[in-house]
Amino acid sequence: MKILVLNSGSSSLKYQLFEMPNEQPLCSGLVDRIGLEGSTITHKNLKSGKEEKFLIETPIQDHEAGLLKVTELLKDTEKGSISDNSEIEAIGHRVVHGGEQFASTTLITEVVKAKIKELFALAPLHNPPNYLGITVAERIFPNAKQVAVFDTAFHQSMPPLAYRYAVPKEMYSQLGIRAYGFHGTSHQYVSKKALKYLQNPNAKIISIHLGNGCSMTAIDSGKSIDTSMGLGPMGGLIMGTRAGDIDPSIIFHLINERGYSSKEVNEILNKKSGLLGLSGFSDMRDVKKAIEEGNKDAKLAYQLYAYRIQKYIGSFTAVLKGLDAIVFTAGIGENDPDMRAEVCKGMDFFGIQLDLLLNSQKTQTIREVNQKGSPVKILVIPTNEELEIGQQTFEIVRK
């Protein structure tokens, strides 16, 4: 069965085509700058185990035009892997916010689409383009089963102690104000890999997803019991441009005393804070380069980023009442050994003991970077959200 995975953003469209159930990737790519000048498609094709990469520069007016271009590439005799649209039996869509309505992957119906629209207010930057990707895919692949995989679903196992806020209860019951958590697809994927590696289905794990967006999850026996992000994807850890946890009184001070509008404050906390606000750079590679050049702001940003992660390791270890492993994943978590060392520094009393030599080595597979005999395993596991979406889509449609 061929399954297409789509991750639709406001001006981008990530895609990957899998042959299931053997999980063989056939094609993947990114449609970038949709509706903007300089639109491009980066397309990768796997033939005979070799990856071929193509860069196509072409105007792409909207998501429908983008998906049509992707369909052309998938059917191209040189670049593609199918001969007709009908070969794709199912499409798995990443949907960021599923609220309390969706605790698992689900087949998309008109009722499901209506509920996704109702959740626009909880994820205004993400759910609208996710929804748009669904409607476009329905038109281009009318015979394929459409499946929604929600970022928030993995965290629906959290108990009320973890997801409730200390606000009037009608805000929860009537307005849905609670912690939902995000990056669930990534946390679920790497935690499954970790449990298998540890050969312990009841292991207590802290998953640390560090990319441009960052989050951590406390996982007990494969279930999320707490996570760093809340109602939206802005809380918790310091991120590329997001502030993470702050005192809410800062928001009211800026609005009531300093004359900022709520829109301006939202823009600052979402797009002008985090590493960017602290150092002037949103990309961790640029932050590290600036540190090498003696930039004190960049050094503070790097240390503060790690410090916040350490605080969550402490709190989540308390929530789990023990710890068997921590898992580093996503772009920074997988590829920045210095950040892993900064996070693990001085954490011996938690049983977290990093082996600097193992930590400095690079592989593309799951690896252990802790000292021999360390009470807590330190694992680096490459995430693959697209494969997780493909797996969950396959499980739904084959029933």
Could you tell me which residues are annotated as the binding site for Mg(2+)? 7, 385
Spell out the residues 6+ positions from residue 296 whose beta carbon is closer than 8 angstroms to its own. none
Q: Please tell me the distance from the alpha carbon of residue 151 to that of residue 252, in angstroms, as a whole number.
A: 30
The alpha carbon of 281 is separated from its chain's Cα centroid by a whole number of angstroms, namely: 21
Q: Please tell me the distance from the alpha carbon of residue 342 to that of residue 305, in angstroms, as a whole number.
A: 9
Tell me the binding residues for ATP: 14, 209-213, 283-285, 331-335
Q: Is 247 a catalytic residue?
A: no
Q: Which two tokens stand for residue 228?
A: 């760093």
* Residue type at position 384: N
Phi and psi torsions of 325, nearest 5°? -160, 150
Concatenated DSSP letters of 217-285: EEEETTEEEEES--SSTTSSS--SS---S--THHHHHHHHTT---HHHHHHHHHHS-HHHHHHS-SSHH
Tell me the binding residues for substrate: 94
In angstroms, the Cα distances linking 34 to 11, 60, 265 are 5, 5, 27
- 3-state SS, one letter per residue, for 280-340: CCCCHHHHHHHHHCCCHHHHHHHHHHHHHHHHHHHHHHHHHCCCCEEEEEHHHHHHCHHHH
- Which residue out of 76, 84, 151, 338 is catalytically annotated? 151
Spell out the residues 6+ positions from residue 116 whose beta carbon is closer than 8 angstroms to its own. 95, 98, 127, 130, 131, 134, 148
Report the catalytic residues.
Answer: 151
